[in-house]
Chain A
Amino acid sequence: MIENIKFGLLSPQMIKKMSAAEITKTEIYDADGFPVEGGLMDPKLGVIDPGLRCRTCGERMGNCPGHFGHIELVKPVVHILYTKTIYNILRVVCHDCGRVISKKPLVGKSKRTCPYCGAEVKTVKFEKPYIYKLDGKTLNPQELREILEKIPDEDLSKLGIKGGRPEWLVLTVLPVPPVTMRPSITLETGERSEDDLTHKLVDIVRINKLLNENILSGAPDFIIDDLWELLQYHVATYFDNEVSGLPQARHRSGRPLKTLAQRLKTKEGRFRHNLTGKRVNFSARTVISPDPMISINEVGVPLMVAKELTIPVMIREENLDEMRKLVLNADRWPGANYVIRPDGKRKKITRENAEEIAKELSPGYIVERHLQNGDIVLFNRQPSLHRMSIMAHRVRVTPWRTFTLNLCVCPPYNADFDGDEMNLHVPQTIEAQAEAEILMEVQHHIRSPRFGGPIIGCEQDHISGCFLLTKKDTFLERSKAFQILCEIGMRPGIDFTLPKKNKISGKDVFSMLIPKNINTEFKAKACRGCEKCRKEKCPYDAYVVVKNGKLVCGVIDSKAIGREKGKLLSLVEKFCGTEEAHKFLDRVSQLGIRYLDHRGFTCGLDDYDIPEENLQDIRKYIEKTKQRVNKLIEKYYANEIEILPGRTAKESLEAHILAELKGVLSYAEKLVLENLPKSDSLVMSQSGARGSLVNLIQISTCVGQETLLGERIHRGYRKRVLSHFNWNELSPEAHGFVKSSYKSGLNVYEFFFDVMNGREGLMDKSLRTKHSGYMERRLMNALQDLKVEYDFTVRDGRKVIVQFVPGEDGIDPAKSDWGEIDVENILLNTI
Chain B
Amino acid sequence: MNFEKLKEELPEKIAEKIKEVSRKYKLDENKKNKLVEKVKDIYEKSKYEPGEAIGVVTAQSISEPATQMTMRTYHVAGAAEIKVTLGLPRLIEIFDARRQPSTPMMKIHLKKDYNTREKAKEIANKIRELKVEDVVKSSVVDILNNQIEFFLDTELLEKYDVTPEEISKKIKEAFKINIRTSKSKITVKLREGEEIKELHKMKTKVLSLNIRGIKGIRQTIVRREGDEWVILTLGSNLKKILEVEGVDTTRTVSNDIHETARVLGIEAVRNLIIEEVTKTLEEQGLDVIPRHITLVADMMTVDGIVKPIGRYGVAGAKGSVLARANFEETIKHLTQAALAGEVDTLESSIENVMINQVVPMGTGVVELVFSPKKGKK
Contacts and interface: CB of A to CB of B under 8 A. Distances in A.
B261 interface: no
B82 A450 contact: no
Contacts of A807: 48, 289, 291, 294-295
B95 A779 contact: yes
Given A387-B60, A772-B66, A452 B337 contact: no
Given A160-B340, A782-B299, A796-B299, A767 B291 contact: no
B330 A82 contact: no
Contacts of B14: 809, 821, 823
A786 B362 CA distance: 11
Contacts of A827: 21, 25, 27, 35
A156 B331 CA distance: 22
Contacts of A801: 302
B184 interface: no
A808 B48 CA distance: 11
B318 A772 contact: no
Contacts of B211: none
Given A775-B66, A783-B55, A792-B48, A1 B357 contact: yes
B265 interface: no
Interface string A812-831: 11111011110110110011
7 contacts: A2-B357, A276-B350, A780-B63, A783-B296, A790-B365, A806-B48, A811-B43
A449 interface: yes
Residue of B25, B71, B339, B351 contacting most chain A CB atoms (<10 Å): B339
Interface of B: 11, 13-14, 17-18, 20-21, 24-25, 27, 31, 34-35, 38-39, 42-43, 45-67, 69-72, 74-76, 79-80, 82, 88-89, 91-92, 95, 219, 221, 234, 287-292, 294-296, 298-299, 302, 309-310, 313-315, 318-323, 325-327, 330-331, 334-335, 337-351, 353-357, 360-363, 365
A275 B63 contact: no
A244 interface: no
B245 to A, nearest CB: 23
A792 B353 CA distance: 25
Contact of A783 (B46, B59, B221, B322): B59
B270 to A, nearest CB: 11
A810 B50 CA distance: 11
A459 interface: no
Interface residues of A, number: 100
Contacts of B320: 797
Contact of A7 (B45, B60, B79, B343): B343
A264 interface: yes
A516 interface: no
A203 B261 CA distance: 55
Interface string A763-775: 0100111011101
Interface in A48-62: none
Interface stretch (A33-41, A137-145, A161-169, A287-295): A161-169
A797 B320 CA distance: 8
A769 B71 CA distance: 10
A85 to B, nearest CB: 6
A785 interface: yes
B346 A3 contact: yes
Contact of A261 (B13, B331, B347): B331
Nearest to A261: B331
A821 B17 CA distance: 9
Contact of B92 (A451, A771, A785): A771
Interface stretch (A265-273, A304-312, A462-470): A265-273
B256 to A, nearest CB: 19
B61 to A, nearest CB: 4
Contacts of B58: 779, 783, 786
A826 B343 CA distance: 51
A240 B329 CA distance: 13
Interface in A646-687: 646, 655-656, 659
A772 B340 contact: no
Contacts of B55: 782-787, 794, 796
B67 A264 contact: no
A709 interface: yes
A-B pairs with the 4 shortest C-beta distances?
A786-B55, A807-B291, A783-B55, A163-B341
Contacts of A816: 46
A815 B45 contact: yes
B295 A802 contact: yes
B64 A820 contact: no
Contact of B334 (A7, A656, A768, A787): A7
A603 interface: no
B343 A269 contact: no
B289 A450 contact: yes
Nearest to B15: A823
A768 B70 CA distance: 7
Contacts of B302: 796, 800-802
Given A385-B67, A775-B91, A778-B95, A646 B219 contact: yes
A809 B341 CA distance: 41
B88 A450 contact: no
Contacts of B291: 806-809, 811, 813, 819
Interface string A603-628: 00000000000000000000000000
A802 B296 CA distance: 10
A810 B11 contact: yes
Contact of A784 (B25, B76, B80, B350): B350
Contacts of A787: 51-55, 360-361, 365
Given A163-B340, A768-B88, A709 B60 contact: no
Nearest to B349: A784
Contacts of B354: 271, 275-276
A225 interface: no
A112 interface: no
Contacts of A1: 357
B39 A764 contact: no
A772 B48 contact: no
A768 B348 contact: no
A788 interface: yes
A163 to B, nearest CB: 3
Contacts of B355: 2, 5
A9 B288 contact: no
Given A767-B71, A802-B298, 11 more contacts: A265-B330, A709-B74, A781-B323, A782-B55, A782-B313, A783-B296, A783-B314, A784-B350, A806-B52, A823-B14, A824-B17
Contacts of A773: 67
B64 to A, nearest CB: 4
Contacts of A5: 321-322, 343-344, 346, 351, 355
A645 interface: yes
A272 B323 CA distance: 11
Contacts of B315: 778, 781-782
